[in-house]
C-alpha cells in the first residue's frame, strides 16, 4: 500500500512535529509513505472565501501531486473535507474523482482503513479533553453529533481509548465550534477570538491537562486564546499521542 | 503587528467603556458594574452600503452582561431542544418527512395555492394576492380604510416585519398594537425583533424596565418581571379591547381545508383574531402544506426545535370568518417565486421559522440578532437576506464559521451551512466581496499553486518576518493577535525537516527514523 502524506500548509509552517508524528505513526504500520515534495495547500482559504476560481490551480496541483497513491492521508479533517467535498473548481475527471475518494483524514484512515486495534507504544498519563474539528465532525462524520438523534460513536475516542493511562474529561459544550473557521479567524477576528476564549475557558473548567484534536488549525487558535487568558492546559495533536508522545 | 494598538469601531462605543475595551481582547475583561449596562444597538444602516455585522457584533461583545445572558439563554434553548429530541425515537424520520412534505409542496406550489384559494373562498374568506411588500401593505390598509378601522391589534409575524408594515401603517393613519409580549417590547423600543421566536431575547430585564419607563411611565428602577408584565398588560389591554381590526401571521396553511394555523404561547393570536369582527391574515406563499394530516409532523417538530417544549400552548386553527365578521387572507410573494427559481437556494423556502439555527449558532449567540441589520437573523438569515438585496446583505454569509450545527438542528433539513458557502461563491463571482479580500485570494491562489512561491512565502525563525505566512496576513494589519497569541514559529518547517532527515527522494532515513517499530505492531 503506497500512501501519500499531505502536510497542510499551517502544519508545515507552524506544527512540523505533527507532520513528523503522522509520518512516523503511519510507518509503524509498515506502510510505504511518501511525502510529495511539490505539495502546498488544499485550496481551502480561497474556497472558504467563495473564490473557487482562485482555488482551481491549487486544486490541480494537489491532484497532480497525489494521483499516483493508493491512499492520501492528512492530519487534518478540515483539509480532507475540502478535498473530498469541496474540490469542485476542477473539471471532475476520473483522476480528480479518484483522488477525492482516496483522501483520508488520519483518524478515519487508522480507524476505518487500517482498523488499528492497538498502539502498544503509546502511553499518555494525563487528563485529556477531545476537540473535534467541525469539518471532521459534521463533514467527515468522525464522531456522532450532539444535534442528531442517532447511535453514539467517536472514532478519535476509540483510538485514544487504546492509549495507556489516558483519561478523558468532558467539557460542557463539546460540539461547539471554537471559532477558527479558516479565513474567518482573520476576517472576523472579534467573534473568532471570543469563541476561542470561551472554548479555552470551558476546557480549563473541565480540569483537562491536555486538549487534543485531529486538527492543528483549531488547536493553534485555541492555544493562542488560552495563552492570552493565561490558562494552563496544553494542546497536542492526536497523531503525537498515538505515536507515543508522553507529554 | 498591533496587539497593543487600540482599534476604534466605526460606530459608537458603549457608554462608559473606554475605547480600548471595545475590541475583542477587552470584551473578555469584566467591566465594573456602574448601574445597568446599556443595551447594545444594531448596526448603523448606511444607504447603498453593506451591513457592517462585525462592527455591531463587537459592540455586543463589549457588553459583558448582555453577552453572557444572551449566550446562556439561547444555549439553554438548544439544550432543551436536545432533550426533546431524545424523547422522540423517530426524530430523524420526522425531520426527513417534514423536509419531504415541504419539498413536495414547493415543487407543486401553483397547484396547492390554487387549491388553498378555492377552499378558503368556499369557507367565506376573502383572498388577496400581493406581489410584493408594497402591495401587501396597501391591501391591508385599504381593507381597514374601507371599514373605517383605525386600530389594528396583531400577533407576531415575521412577514409583516419583512414588509415594513408597521411603518407603512403609521404613515397611513393606522395604529398597530403588537400583542406578543416580546414583540410589544420591541415595538415600544422602536427596534426590530432580534430573533424569529423570541424577539427581545437580546434585552436584559433592566433594558425592558428602561423602555417601559420611557413609554408606559413605569418605575425605571423596578425590573421585576412580574411587575413589568403586569404594567404592560394593564396599559395594552384597553388598546386591545378598543381595536377595530385584528391581524395574525400564519405558521401553516392547509390547502385541502383552506384554513390557517397559528402557533403561540401567549394565546395572543386568538386575541388578535377574535376581539374584533375583522381578521386579516398575512401569509407568505411558502407556508402551505397539502393536508391536515401533514400538520401533525410540523406541530411535533416546531416547538421542540424552537423552545425545547413539546408543543406551543396554543395551536389555533382559523377556517372562516366569525358570525357577522370578515376574514381576509393576504398571500404574499415578495421575492419568494424568484427564490424558488434559484437552483442552489430554493430549499430555504422550507423554513418554518423555528429559530433553532439561531439558538445553536455560536456566532449568533455572541453577536446578537440585531447585528445582522436584517429581518431574518442568524444562519437562516444569512441565506435568505441576500435574496432580498444582494449588495446590502453581502457581508452576512461571511458571519459564519460554516460549522454546520445549524443544518443539523434544522427540523426541515435545510442544508444551511452549504448554502452559506454557496452564497460566498455567488457574492465573490459578482464582485460583492471587498476588493482587498478578492485581491488577497488571487494572491493566495497564485502563491499556493506554485511550490516555489509557496516555499518563499513561509516565515522562518531566523527571518525578520516572524509572522503568519503572507497569504494569511496579506492585509493592512494582522488581526490575529487582538484576542490571541501568535503561534510559535518553529526552527524549521516540516518540509525542511523532511529534506534534512529523509532526503529529497525520501529514501535517506526511511525505516530508520527516530521511532523504531516495537513489538505488537498492528501491521
Whichever domain contains B319, its CATH number is 3.40.50.10420
Q: Which of B299, B288, B224 is nearest to B255 (CA)?
A: B288
- Going by DSSP bridges, is the β-strand pair A210-213/B126-130 parallel, antiparallel, or unpaired? unpaired
Is residue B256 in a domain? yes
Is residue B213 in a domain? yes
Q: Which of A53-62, A147-156, A177-186 has the lowest mean pLDDT?
A: A177-186
Of A113, A147, A163, the residue at which a domain comes to its end is A113
Instruction: Tell me what pLDDT residue B459 has.
Output: 62
CA distances (Å), B283 to each of B105, B199, B328, B335, B374, in order? 15, 19, 11, 13, 19
CATH of the domain at A236: 3.40.50
**How much is the CA Rg of chain A, to the nearest whole Å?**
17
Residue tagged 469541496 (cell numbers): A86
B263 and B183 within one domain: yes
Running along chain B, 523 residues long, what does each successive block of 10 average in pLDDT? 36 38 42 75 94 96 97 98 98 98 98 98 98 98 96 97 97 96 97 97 97 96 95 94 97 98 95 95 98 98 98 97 96 98 97 98 98 98 97 97 98 98 97 92 92 81 46 55 81 92 73 41 35
Report the phi/psi class of residue B177: left, alpha or beta, with left for phi > 0 and alpha for psi in -120 to 50.
Answer: beta
Cα dihedral A145, A150, A155, A158 sign: positive
Instruction: Tell me what pLDDT residue B378 has.
Output: 98
Q: How many domains does chain B have?
A: 3
Instruction: Tell me what pLDDT residue A149 has.
Output: 97
B123 and B165 within one domain: yes
Residues of B in contact with A49 (CB under 8 A): 398, 424, 428, 433, 437, 441
- With a CB-CB cutoff of 8 Å, which residues 28-67 of chain A face chain B? 28-31, 34-35, 37-41, 43, 45-58, 60-61
Compute φ and ψ for B214, nearest 5 degrees.
Answer: -75, -40
Provide the ipTM: 0.96
Residues in chain B: 523
Report, in this order, helix, strand and coil percent for chain A, each rounded to 5. 45, 15, 40
Instruction: Tell me what pLDDT residue B510 has.
Output: 56
When the pLDDT of each residue in chain A is averaged and rounded to a whole number, the result is: 96
B376 and B265 within one domain: no
Of B429, B456, B473, the residue at which a domain comes to its end is B429
Is residue A42 in a domain? yes
Contacts of B435 (CB under 8 A, 6+ apart): none
Q: Which of B22, B97, B43 is nearest to B301 (CA)?
A: B97
Q: Based on the number of CB atoms within 10 Å of its own CB, is B374 exposed (0-12), middle (13-18) or buried (19 or more)?
A: buried
Is residue B185 in a domain? yes
Compute φ and ψ for B430, nearest 5 degrees.
Answer: -105, 25
A153 and A96 within one domain: no
Instruction: Tell me what pLDDT residue B29 has.
Output: 47
Residues of A in contact with B494 (CB under 8 A): 7, 11-12, 16, 18-20
Dist. CA B32–CA B17, nearest whole Å? 10
Is residue B44 in a domain? no
Dist. CA B106–CA B176, nearest whole Å? 32
A131 and A93 within one domain: no
Report the phi/psi class of residue B355: left, alpha or beta, with left for phi > 0 and alpha for psi in -120 to 50.
Answer: left
B360 and B274 within one domain: no
SS3 A213: strand
CA distances (Å), B444 to each of A55, A187, B471, B519, in order? 9, 15, 5, 45
Average pLDDT over residues A9-36: 95
Q: Which of B38, B71, B375, B52 is nearest to B195 (CA)?
A: B375
Strand partners, A234: A210
Which residue range forms the structural domain that includes residue A29?
A: 2-113
Contacts of A168 (CB under 8 A, 6+ apart): A127, A128, A129, A130, A157, A160
Report the phi/psi class of residue A91: left, alpha or beta, with left for phi > 0 and alpha for psi in -120 to 50.
Answer: beta
B61 and B196 within one domain: no
Is residue A121 in a domain? no
Q: Which of A164, A244, A117, A239 is nearest to B517 (CA)?
A: A244
Instruction: Tell me what pLDDT residue B519 has.
Output: 37
Name the H helices within B18-132: 24-27, 53-61, 64-86, 91-107, 109-122
User: Quick one: DSSP state of residue A57?
Assistant: H
B169 and B292 within one domain: yes
Dist. CA A13–CA B143, nearest whole Å? 67
H helix or E strand, kind and range, residue B316: strand B314-318
B315 and B237 within one domain: yes
Dist. CA B168–CA B152, nearest whole Å? 13
Choose the mutation target among B508, B515, B516, B521 for the interface with A, i.e. most A CBs under 10 Å.
Answer: B515
A68 and A92 within one domain: yes
CA distances (Å), B460 to each of A36, A67, B89, B127, B451, in order? 21, 30, 55, 71, 16
Q: Which residue of A has its CA nearest to B444?
A: A46
B359 and B322 within one domain: no
Q: Which three cell numbers stand for residue A233?
A: 492546559
Residues in chain A: 247
Residues of B in contact with A63 (CB under 8 A): none
Q: Which three cell numbers stand for residue B132?
A: 410584493
Give Cα B261 to chain centroid, integer Å: 23
**How much is the CA Rg of chain B, to the nearest whole Å?**
27
Instruction: Tell me what pLDDT residue B491 has.
Output: 84
Residues of B in contact with A56 (CB under 8 A): 445
CATH of the domain at B350: 1.10.1060
Is B448's CB within 8 Å of A184's CB? no
Strands lying side by side in the sheet with B259-264: B288-289, B252-254, B259-264, B314-318
Of A78, A113, A148, the residue at which a domain comes to its end is A113
Which residue range forms the structural domain that includes residue B444?
A: 435-502
A135 and A78 within one domain: no
Instruction: Tell me what pLDDT residue B33 has.
Output: 52
Q: Which three cell numbers stand for residue B188?
A: 415600544
Instruction: Tell me what pLDDT residue B4 has.
Output: 37
The answer to whether residue B267 neighbours chain A at the CB level (below 8 Å) is no
A12 and A105 within one domain: yes
Average pLDDT over residues A103-129: 98
Share of chain A above pLDDT 90, in %: 96
Is A146's CB within 8 Å of B27's CB? no
CA distances (Å), B69 to each of A201, B41, B116, B187, in order? 17, 16, 43, 22
B214 and B166 within one domain: yes
Instruction: Tell me what pLDDT residue B504 has.
Output: 74
Average pLDDT over residues A90-101: 97
H helix or E strand, kind and range, residue A101: helix A94-101
Give Cα B23 to chain centroid, integer Å: 23
Instruction: Tell me what pLDDT residue B34 has.
Output: 58
Instruction: Tell me what pLDDT residue B12 has.
Output: 37
Average pLDDT over residues A10-27: 95
Amino acid at each position: 500500500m503506497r500512501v501519500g502524506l499531505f502536510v497542510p500548509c499551517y502544519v508545515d509552517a507552524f506544527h512540523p512535529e505533527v507532520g513528523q508524528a503522522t509520518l512516523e505513526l503511519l510507518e509503524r504500520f509498515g506502510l510505504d509513505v511518501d511525502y510529495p515534495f511539490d505539495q502546498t495547500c488544499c485550496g481551502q482559504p480561497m474556497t472558504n472565501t467563495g473564490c473557487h476560481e482562485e482555488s482551481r490551480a491549487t486544486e490541480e496541483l494537489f491532484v497532480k501531486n497525489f494521483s499516483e497513491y493508493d491512499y492520501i492521508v492528512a492530519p487534518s479533517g478540515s483539509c480532507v473535507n475540502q478535498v473530498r467535498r469541496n474540490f469542485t473548481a476542477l473539471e471532475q475527471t476520473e483522476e480528480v474523482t479518484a483522488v477525492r475518494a482516496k483522501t483520508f483524514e488520519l483518524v478515519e484512515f487508522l480507524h476505518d482503513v487500517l482498523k488499528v486495534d492497538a498502539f502498544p507504544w503509546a502511553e499518555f498519563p494525563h487528563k485529556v479533553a477531545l476537540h473535534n474539528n467541525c469539518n471532521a465532525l459534521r463533514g467527515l462524520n468522525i464522531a456522532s453529533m450532539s444535534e442528531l438523534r442517532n447511535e453514539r460513536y467517536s472514532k478519535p475516542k476509540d483510538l485514544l481509548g487504546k492509549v495507556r493511562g489516558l483519561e478523558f474529561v468532558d467539557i460542557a459544550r463539546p460540539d461547539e465550534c471554537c471559532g477558527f473557521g479558516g479565513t474567518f479567524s482573520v476576517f472576523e477576528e472579534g467573534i473568532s477570538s471570543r469563541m476561542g476564549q470561551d472554548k479555552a475557558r470551558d476546557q480549563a473548567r473541565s480540569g483537562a491537562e491536555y486538549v487534543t484534536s485531529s486538527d492543528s488549525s483549531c488547536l493553534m487558535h485555541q492555544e493562542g486564546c488560552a495563552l492570552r487568558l493565561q490558562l494552563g492546559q496544553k494542546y497536542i495533536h492526536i497523531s503525537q499521542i498515538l505515536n507515543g508522545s508522553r507529554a | 503587528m498591533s496587539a497593543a494598538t487600540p482599534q476604534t469601531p466605526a460606530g459608537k462605543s458603549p457608554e462608559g467603556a473606554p475605547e480600548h475595551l471595545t475590541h475583542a481582547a477587552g470584551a473578555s475583561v469584566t467591566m465594573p458594574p456602574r448601574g445597568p449596562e446599556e443595551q447594545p444597538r444594531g448596526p448603523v444602516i448606511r444607504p447603498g452600503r453593506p451591513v457592517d455585522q462585525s462592527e455591531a457584533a463587537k459592540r455586543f461583545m463589549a457588553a459583558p452582561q448582555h453577552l453572557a445572558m444572551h449566550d446562556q439563554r439561547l444555549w439553554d434553548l438548544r439544550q432543551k431542544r436536545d432533550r426533546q429530541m431524545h424523547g422522540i425515537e423517530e426524530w430523524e424520520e420526522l425531520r426527513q418527512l417534514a423536509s419531504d412534505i415541504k419539498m413536495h409542496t414547493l415543487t407543486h406550489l401553483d397547484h396547492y395555492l390554487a387549491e388553498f384559494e378555492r377552499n378558503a373562498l368556499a369557507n367565506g374568506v376573502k383572498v388577496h394576492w400581493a406581489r410584493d411588500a408594497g402591495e401587501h401593505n396597501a391591501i391591508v390598509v385599504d381593507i381597514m380604510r374601507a371599514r373605517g378601522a383605525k386600530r389594528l391589534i396583531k400577533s407576531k409575524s415575521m412577514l409583516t416585519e419583512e414588509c415594513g408594515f408597521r411603518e407603512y401603517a403609521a404613515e397611513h393613519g393606522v395604529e398597530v398594537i403588537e400583542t406578543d409580549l416580546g414583540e410589544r417590547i420591541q415595538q415600544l423600543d422602536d427596534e426590530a425583533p432580534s430573533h424569529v421566536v423570541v424577539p427581545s431575547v437580546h434585552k436584559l430585564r433592566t433594558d425592558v424596565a428602561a423602555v417601559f419607563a420611557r413609554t408606559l411611565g413605569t418605575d425605571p428602577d423596578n425590573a421585576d418581571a412580574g411587575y413589568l408584565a403586569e404594567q404592560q398588560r394593564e396599559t395594552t389591554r384597553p388598546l386591545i379591547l378598543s381595536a377595530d381590526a385584528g391581524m395574525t401571521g400564519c405558521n401553516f396553511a392547509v390547502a385541502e381545508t383552506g384554513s390557517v394555523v397559528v402557533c403561540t404561547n401567549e394565546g395572543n393570536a386568538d386575541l388578535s383574531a377574535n376581539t374584533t369582527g375583522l381578521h386579516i391574515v398575512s401569509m407568505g406563499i411558502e407556508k402551505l402544506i397539502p393536508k391536515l394530516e401533514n400538520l401533525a409532523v410540523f406541530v411535533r417538530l416546531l416547538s421542540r426545535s424552537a423552545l425545547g417544549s413539546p408543543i406551543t400552548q396554543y395551536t389555533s386553527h382559523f377556517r372562516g370568518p366569525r358570525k357577522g365578521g370578515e376574514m381576509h387572507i393576504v398571500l404574499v410573494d415578495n421575492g419568494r417565486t424568484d427564490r424558488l427559481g434559484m437552483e442552489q437556494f430554493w430549499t430555504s423556502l422550507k423554513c418554518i421559522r423555528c429559530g433553532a439555527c439561531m439558538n445553536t449558532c455560536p456566532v449568533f449567540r455572541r453577536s446578537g440578532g440585531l447585528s445582522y441589520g436584517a429581518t431574518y437573523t442568524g444562519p437562516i438569515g444569512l441565506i435568505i437576506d441576500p435574496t432580498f438585496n444582494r449588495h446590502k446583505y453581502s457581508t452576512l454569509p461571511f458571519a459564519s464559521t460554516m460549522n454546520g450545527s445549524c443544518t443539523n438542528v434544522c427540523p426541515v433539513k435545510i442544508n444551511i451551512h452549504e448554502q452559506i458557502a454557496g452564497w460566498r461563491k455567488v457574492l465573490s463571482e459578482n464582485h460583492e466581496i471587498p476588493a482587498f479580500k478578492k485581491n488577497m485570494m488571487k494572491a493566495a491562489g497564485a502563491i499556493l499553486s506554485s511550490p516555489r512561491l509557496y516555499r518563499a512565502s513561509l516565515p522562518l525563525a531566523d527571518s525578520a518576518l516572524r509572522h503568519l505566512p503572507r497569504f494569511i496576513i496579506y492585509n493592512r494589519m494582522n488581526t490575529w493577535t487582538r484576542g490571541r497569541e501568535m503561534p510559535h514559529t518553529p526552527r524549521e518547517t516540516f518540509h525542511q525537516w523532511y529534506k534534512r532527515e529523509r532526503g529529497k527522494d525520501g529514501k535517506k532515513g526511511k525505516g530508520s527514523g527516530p521511532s523504531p517499530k516495537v513489538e505488537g505492531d498492528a501491521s
